[in-house]
Amino acid sequence: MPASLRLISEARPLIDVRAPVEFAQGALPGAVNLPLMVDEERRQVGIAYKQQGQSAAIALGEQLVSGDIKQARIAAWQAYLTERPDAVIYCFRGGLRSQIAQQWLNDAGIVRPRIAGGWKAMRQALCQRVDAAAEQPMLVVAGLTGCAKTTLINRLDNGVDLEAYANHKGSAFGRQPEAPATQIDFEHALAARLLALPGNLIMEDESRLIGNANIPLTFWHAMQKAPRVRIEMPLDWRLDQLQHDYIIQLEKDYVAHFGPAQGWELMQRQLGNALIRLGKRLGNARLQRLQRLQVMAFKAHEEGNPQAHEAWLAPLLTEYYDPLYRYHLEKQRATAAPDLHIGDWDSCLEAAKQWSA
């Protein structure tokens, strides 16, 4: 493992001194954004650099970030380092911004290292780790919607939970209260997990797009060729799983994030919009029928009967998701390895453990 990636594998705290707009596009795992320049300051310095050159840009930066503003930036770094004294500094290329932050802290009596090559070099190393993982032995856990594939993955020491890194459960109904991960953050989170897994890998059967994130192509191709275990569970069992994941737990997450009233409203809107997004595939008549059933279920839910959601979840499974999955399963058989095991949830968990061993 490259020495720089030990910062990620050891979960070292990192101070990202890039502007907030850069951080929002994707950061290194474990980083907090304490910028040297905010977005507007960075924009002005960038214009000066293009029009007048580096010296003029540096002079403008020193003018914009001076006095009380400079002291506030230093104070933010100091406060973070008081709690996490082993933190490391980085900027985009490991150049001027992290060097300035390092020097200002040094002047304040705090000596901290910075990442050579910065975010760019680290991102390249993390992406290389994902590509290299395509050569590792893989096992894919398949099964119809509601078979608790993600739960099985997380019971394994070598499980790779792609949905967790994407912050999305993978289907039209998979949106979470927090924003889905950016492509960059998804790739970095995946790479961070892979740093701890040099051997066999087990992951869920996913489409390439999970929320806003695409599984990197080399890794995706390896998944498609990997052997599978396929979970087969009865409809009632699967509906219980969906009830927990997409109704009970989703409500808890929304309420925790937004409060009872707004959380309940946003959860209903999320599930309602998910049906609408499937409208073209469902057809107008079926969509309207499911929407009516969903509205009735939410009314019953408010009156203390969340189990009423089975009225629209069951036909959604049997009429849409199950046929769609079986269609994709037939297509996969042309290129994928034969199923290693087909059985119930417990037997598939045991088969995955045996394969890992």
Contacts of 19 (CB under 8 A, 6+ apart): 35, 37, 38, 39, 41, 42
* DSSP β-bridge partners for residue 230: 142, 342
Task: Tell me the CA distances in angstroms from 213 to 58, 190, 203, one per residue in order.
Answer: 36, 11, 16
Q: What is the mean pLDDT of the chain?
A: 93
Token reading at 238 = 């699967």
Tell me the per-residue pLDDT of 221-239, one tens digit each, with 9 for 90 and over: 999 999 999 999 999 999 9
- Would you place residue 193 in the very low, low, confident or very high pLDDT band (cuts 50, 70, 90)? very high
Tell me the per-residue pLDDT of 46-74, one tens digit each, with 9 for 90 and over: 999 999 998 999 999 999 999 999 999 99
Side chain identity at 111, as an amino acid letter? V
Token reading at 165 = 């890194």
Count of alpha carbons within 13 angstroms of residue 247, beta-carbon side = 23
Active site residues: 91
pLDDT at 1 over 80: no
Q: What is the pLDDT of residue 3?
A: 64
Contacts of 87 (CB under 8 A, 6+ apart): 12, 13, 14, 15, 80, 81, 112
Q: Are 231 and 165 in contact (CB under 8 A)?
A: no
Element (H, E) at 32: strand 31-33
**How many CB atoms are closer than 10 A to CB 312?**
21
pLDDT at 172 over 90: no
Q: Which residues of 163-194 are buried (b: 16+ CB within 10 A; e: fewer)?
A: bbbbbbbbbbbbbbbeebbbbbbbbbbbbbbb
Residue with tokens 């991102």: 123
Better-predicted residue by pLDDT, 3 or 71? 71
Give the pLDDT mean for 289-317: 95
Angle ∠(217,219,221) on CA atoms, nearest 5: 70
**How many CB atoms are closer than 10 A to CB 91?**
26
Give the pLDDT mean for 104-115: 96
pLDDT at 184 over 80: yes
- Would you place residue 333 in the very low, low, confident or very high pLDDT band (cuts 50, 70, 90)? confident
Token reading at 327 = 């269609």
pTM, entire model: 0.92
Residue with tokens 């020495």: 3
Better-predicted residue by pLDDT, 338 or 91? 91
pLDDT at 339 over 70: yes
pLDDT at 2 over 70: no
